[in-house]
Amino acid sequence: MLPVSASTPATDARTRLARAAVDAFAARGFHATTTRDISTAAGMSPAALYVHHRSKEDLLFELAHVGHLRVLDMVRASVARSADPVTQLGDLVEDFVRDHAVAHTGARVINYELAALSEEHRAEILAVRHDIDLVVRDVVDRGVAAGAFSTPDPRMTSLAVLSLGIDVARWYRDEGRWTPDEVAAHYRLLALRMVGADPAGSSASRPAGRIDP
């Protein structure tokens, strides 16, 4: 859930500040990071951040808001590719997990630093997260209604599916043994089994990577 990543060209000051903030927040945590840390890492003067943002908290909010809105668009697009709930859930989870693996540093920051936001800003982010949850819950509800899924509590299952995907950002490492595609394909199967679906009925884009304990 991140508007910029390590591969994003730093073509303007706001992008450079965003990239520097993500790296600094990930390395030190929001509260231990100073505005000088961010501006210096961006190759700018100590006061440069205030030219573009009212505060350090405002910068974190922008990262979180843009990132969450992008993910909301992504999961809606995932669902729109098919009318079948099994395929919809599989595609949604695969896209969601891959995204959290590829952009794991930024996703970790904007998911696990929400407590640093003001009450007003946090409420805005939680509203977008609620919309993301509604997309997943709608797919699960329709799958249950169609007899394709079997779960005693669709709402709790939907939250569990999203929580698993978000947590990928916490443990994923670029130098680890699994690629983002392998993790995404494996989580696709896990999610479908969680709802009691037949994974064979979902057109996975890649074979699942084996994840050992």
Check which CATH number belongs to the domain holding 69 and give it: 1.10.357.10
Single-letter code of the amino acid located at 71: V
Average pLDDT, the chain: 89
Q: Which phi and psi angles does 82 have, rounded to 5°? A: -150, 160
What does R_g of the chain's alpha carbons equal in angstroms?
A: 18
Q: Which pair of structure tokens corresponds to residue 165?
A: 């995907």
184, part of any domain: yes
209, part of any domain: no
Please give the residue range of the domain that contains residue 152.
54-198
6, part of any domain: no
Distance separating alpha carbons of residues 189 and 138, to the nearest angstrom: 19
Q: Which run of H or of E encompasses 155?
A: helix 154-171
Q: What is the pLDDT of residue 60?
A: 96
Single-letter code of the amino acid located at 116: A
104, part of any domain: yes
Which stretches within 4-151 are classed as H helix?
13-28, 35-41, 49-52, 56-80, 85-102, 104-112, 119-145
8 A C-beta contact, residue 142 and residue 85: yes
Q: What is the pLDDT of residue 50?
A: 86
18, part of any domain: no
- Structural domain count of the chain: 1
Q: What is the pLDDT of residue 25?
A: 96
Q: What is the pLDDT of residue 208?
A: 39
8 A C-beta contact, residue 137 and residue 157: no
Cα angle 111, 116, 119 (rounded to 5 degrees) comes to 100
42, part of any domain: no
Length of the chain: 213
24, part of any domain: no
Q: What is the pLDDT of residue 213?
A: 28
Q: What is the pLDDT of residue 202?
A: 57
Q: How far is CA 150 from CA 126, 196, 198, in A?
A: 28, 5, 11
114, part of any domain: yes
Positions of the chain with pLDDT lower than 70, given as ranges? 1-11, 201-213
Q: Which pair of structure tokens corresponds to residue 179?
A: 């690629």
Q: What is the pLDDT of residue 6?
A: 41
